[in-house]
């Protein structure tokens, strides 16, 4: 087992990793920016060190500062959480060069899946369905030839993209050239790689993802699927597991495809294969996230598998604690992302000081958060301040429990998305389970609000 683990992250995921390490008896080192000096992860870690000023480029993305801190404190492993360094293959290489274990997949696996065009090719080679698409586009003429063959609309995507950035939907020839230029510029700006490719755009599909775990001995399992269709401009707002749109046959097929994909790249650790489900029930691979995800909690609730603990154990050289036959999914879980945002003002971030904080509780209720009364939310980072997860024997039981937990959740001093989530879980279309990625836009229209 590791002697000491550095957590190269902040917020609720840093707290989550620290707790998992504590249960395994592993001392932890937190790193933090000047803006996060009073963050909860700093208080909970065994030791904590400031690595730079507020901007993430000078702190949480400061590789020399992170590596130096790890070496200075005797850490033999680094957990990246999600975001920041979690999908940086160059960071994995640097950790390896300094004799530090990166708790996650190899740099090779990360590169294969991090480049979306390469990922598509890998899926095709392993009989995983993908939407019709292209390789890296060199000219507008190549994009136009594909669009004429596949039919509009198409979507242009940054090959190194993620987080909803570097994506452009094109509905006609007239829009193609300008959108391709803009997509390439965004790809260069956000990811340092101007490469883009095209896919046939599926109008308002379901967004389904499958959680996988792999070890260094070739063992890979899946933990079922999550439905992430409730999203605004490609940013997820609410997730649930299992998906109300998936039957057992499709669940097993998707799970098997995700396992094949992971085995094809010798995947180690926690990861997620994301799929799109169209209106006819056909599903297609979209991308693989080579890290633990924000919404891993809903899968933990229905599988009773501690995903972060498994990450750490696998990285330390142990085999997976479970075989596929051991995984029995029970009940239903829903997660609401609690953000410091104003839903009535275009979801504008609302940093500031939390004047009062009361988290809900009770059977089947879980809160993952780094927030507390008196905590000052900095304006420099993601606006998520916590996750509320509720479990029930049935979807409706989980939904009703979520509504009551949201009513009990008190955060004063700032605007949050709690009232918005209360409305969503009581919405008739959400209750029906018959929704897709167009749900939020449709919800706003039905309620006479501006999207």
Q: Which residues have a catalytic role annotated?
A: 291
Q: How far is CA 328 from each of CA 159, 320, 322, 324, rounded to the nearest angstrom?
A: 36, 16, 11, 9
Q: Alpha-carbon distance 260 to 264, whole Å?
A: 6
Give the phi and the psi of residue 215 in degrees, each rounded to 5.
-120, -175
- The verdict on whether omega for the bond into residue 153 sits within 30 degrees of 0, i.e. cis, is yes
DSSP letter, residue 133: B
Run of H or E including 46:
none
Evaluate the CA torsion angle 99, 100, 105, 109 in order and state its sign. Answer: negative
Buried/exposed code over 221-243 (b: 16+ C-beta within 10 A; e: otherwise): bbbbbbbbbbbbeeebbbbbbbb
Burial of 438 (0-12, 13-18, 19+ CB in 10 A): middle
The gap from C-alpha 101 to its chain's centroid, in whole angstroms, comes to: 22
Please name which of 189, 383, 427, 425 lies closest in space to residue 294, comparing C-alpha atoms.
383
The gap from C-alpha 170 to its chain's centroid, in whole angstroms, comes to: 26
């Amino acid at each position: 087992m590791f002697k000491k683990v550095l957590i190269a992250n902040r917020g609720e995921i840093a707290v989550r990793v620290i707790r998992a390490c504590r249960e395994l008896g592993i001392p932890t080192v937190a790193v933090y920016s000047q803006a996060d000096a009073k963050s909860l992860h700093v208080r909970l870690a065994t030791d904590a060190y400031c690595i730079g000023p507020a901007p993430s480029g000078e702190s949480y993305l400061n590789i020399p500062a992170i590596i130096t801190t790890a070496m200075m404190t005797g850490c033999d492993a680094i957990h990246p959480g999600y975001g920041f360094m979690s999908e940086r293959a160059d960071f994995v290489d640097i950790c390896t060069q300094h004799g530090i274990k990166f708790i996650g997949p190899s740099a090779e696996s990360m590169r294969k899946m991090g480049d979306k065009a390469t990922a598509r090719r890998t899926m095709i080679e392993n009989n995983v369905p993908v939407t019709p698409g292209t390789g890296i586009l060199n000219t507008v003429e190549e994009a136009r030839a594909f669009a004429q063959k596949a039919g509009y609309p198409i979507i242009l995507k940054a090959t190194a993209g993620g987080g909803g950035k570097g994506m452009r939907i094109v509905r006609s020839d007239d829009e193609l050239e300008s959108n391709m230029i803009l997509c390439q510029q965004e790809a260069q700006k956000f990811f340092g790689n101007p490469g883009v490719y095209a896919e046939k755009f599926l109008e308002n599909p379901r967004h389904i993802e499958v959680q996988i775990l792999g070890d260094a001995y070739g063992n890979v399992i899946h933990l079922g699927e999550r439905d992430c269709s409730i999203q605004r401009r490609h940013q997820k707002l609410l997730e649930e597991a299992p998906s109300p749109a998936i039957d057992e046959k499709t669940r097993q097929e998707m799970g098997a495809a995700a396992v094949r994909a992971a085995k094809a790249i010798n995947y180690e650790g926690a990861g997620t294969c994301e799929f799109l489900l169209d209106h006819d029930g056909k599903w297609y691979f979209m991308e693989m996230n080579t890290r633990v995800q924000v919404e891993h909690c809903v899968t933990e609730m229905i599988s009773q598998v501690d995903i972060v603990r498994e990450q750490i154990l696998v990285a330390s050289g142990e085999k997976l604690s479970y075989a596929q036959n051991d995984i029995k999914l029970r009940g239903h879980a829903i997660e609401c992302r609690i953000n410091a945002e104003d839903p009535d003002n275009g979801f504008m971030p609302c940093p500031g000081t939390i004047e009062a904080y009361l988290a809900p509780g009770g059977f089947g209720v879980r809160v993952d958060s780094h927030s507390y009364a008196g905590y000052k939310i900095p304006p420099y980072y993601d606006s998520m301040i916590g996750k509320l997860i509720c479990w029930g024997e049935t979807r409706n039981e989980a939904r009703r429990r979520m509504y009551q937990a949201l009513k009990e959740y008190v955060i004063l001093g700032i605007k949050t998305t709690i009232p918005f989530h209360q409305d969503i879980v009581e919405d008739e279309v959400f209750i029906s389970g018959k929704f897709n990625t167009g749900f939020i836009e449709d919800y706003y229209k039905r309620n006479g609000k501006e999207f």
